[in-house]
Amino acid sequence: MLALTYARYGPADQLEIKELPQPKPKKGEVLVKVHGASINSWDLDMLRGSPWIIRLLNGLFKPRYTVPGADIAGVVVQTGEHARDFQPGDEVFGDIAGASFGGFAEYVAVPEKLLARKSPRMTFQQAAALPQAGLLAIQGLRYHGDVKPGQSILINGAGGGVGTLALQYLKSLNTEVTCVDRLEKLEALKSLGADHGIDYTTTDYTQTGNLYDKILDVIAHRSVSAYKQALKPNGVFAMIGGSMGGLLFSMMITEPLLSRFRHKKLGIMGYRPNRTDLDFLTRLFEDGKMTPVIDRCFALQDGADAFRHFISGKFIGKIVLEMET
């Protein structure tokens, strides 16, 4: 089978298509013929071997797992021993990061518990664009309590996978949504329903004087006190991604000094992929409340170009790789 591989940590230029043996499903696994897969920032972290924690998981000097790809959609073609949830022919999707990635290939063998049934109304490209970003969006919005109609919510880094999905879900809940990203992406975000847009290259959203019930930040890098300043009383700040070190330090050292803000909650959202939430995403899709925004599809063979496009940042929503079927 063909797979997009890398042999050492580094830039996208070294990604190449190689012929690899087709994997065999082990106990509790199914073999999936992959039809579509999408790029997430974790794939780029794997390729670069950065931040350092990646090297602890994937090899200090040389990557142990050499095929990136967490988000997949495809068809089950074989089941391993004790795998009972799916049959050959079933259309599935999911985030397989927990099974050592490997989705940017024609076939992948994965534990069936990481997968859910794909809606027949979803294309394979849409299903591939949904898992990680969709799960991060709904789990981030649930962080420290569900969002309520009428609330004012801010999404920082709104033009990417997580933001474009969170925005649509929030509008279906009748909330007022402010999207922060670079100017070029704000028009597209308004067409998806954003009520307000802030250009992060010119404006610091924590310093505008506007206050929010919930802030979902995919690229957090400010201090705890800055975030608390932008929250309403009882407001919640959910960090999805960004500069972990600075924020952790700030939470441990500064937080105790900020006792007068005790009624505001701030934390780092821990991601938990699971089938129940994947099924919830499917229902949102079927109800027209969440449709993945696909910036561009690339053939698997053009995977290095797809990564270069991802690295450029000049995209809205998700970038998808398509396999020949």
Ligand X SMILES: NC(=O)c1ccc[n+]([C@@H]2O[C@H](COP(=O)([O-])OP(=O)(O)OC[C@H]3O[C@@H](n4cnc5c(N)ncnc54)[C@H](OP(=O)(O)O)[C@@H]3O)[C@@H](O)[C@H]2O)c1
Site string for ligand X, 63-102 (x = CB under 6 A): ----------------------------------------
Tokens read off for 282: 């499917």
Please give the single-letter amino acid code of residue 15: L
Closest distance to ligand X from the beta carbon of 286 (Å):
23
Site string for ligand X, 202-221 (x = CB under 6 A): ----------------xx--
Closest distance to ligand X from the beta carbon of 239 (Å):
7
Per CB under 6 A, does 271 bind ligand X? yes
Closest distance to ligand X from the beta carbon of 227 (Å):
13
Tokens read off for 45: 């972290």
Please say which residue, 175 or 178, places its beta carbon nearer to ligand X: 178
Cα 197 from Cα 211, distance rounded (Å): 14
Pick from 113, 13, 6: nearest CA to 54: 6
CB half-sphere exposure, 34, CA atoms < 13 A: 33
Cα 168 from Cα 187, distance rounded (Å): 15
Span near ligand X by CB under 6 A; candidates 37-45, 103-111, 120-128, 275-283: 37-45
Closest distance to ligand X from the beta carbon of 196 (Å):
14
Count of CB atoms situated within 10 Å of the CB of 209: 7
Structure-token match 């591939």, residue found: 128
Q: Would you call the peptide bond into 256 cis, given omega within 30 degrees of 0 as the criterion?
A: no
Please say which residue, 90 or 181, places its beta carbon nearer to ligand X: 181
Structure-token match 């797992």, residue found: 65
- Sheet strands (E) in 138-293: 152-156, 176-181, 196-199, 212-217, 231-239, 265-268
Per CB under 6 A, does 200 bind ligand X? yes
Interacting positions 127-186 with ligand X (CB under 6 A): 133, 136, 156-157, 159-163, 180-182, 185
User: Which residues of this chain interact with ligand X, rule CB under 6 A?
Assistant: 40-42, 133, 136, 156-157, 159-163, 180-182, 185, 200, 218-219, 240-242, 269-271, 313
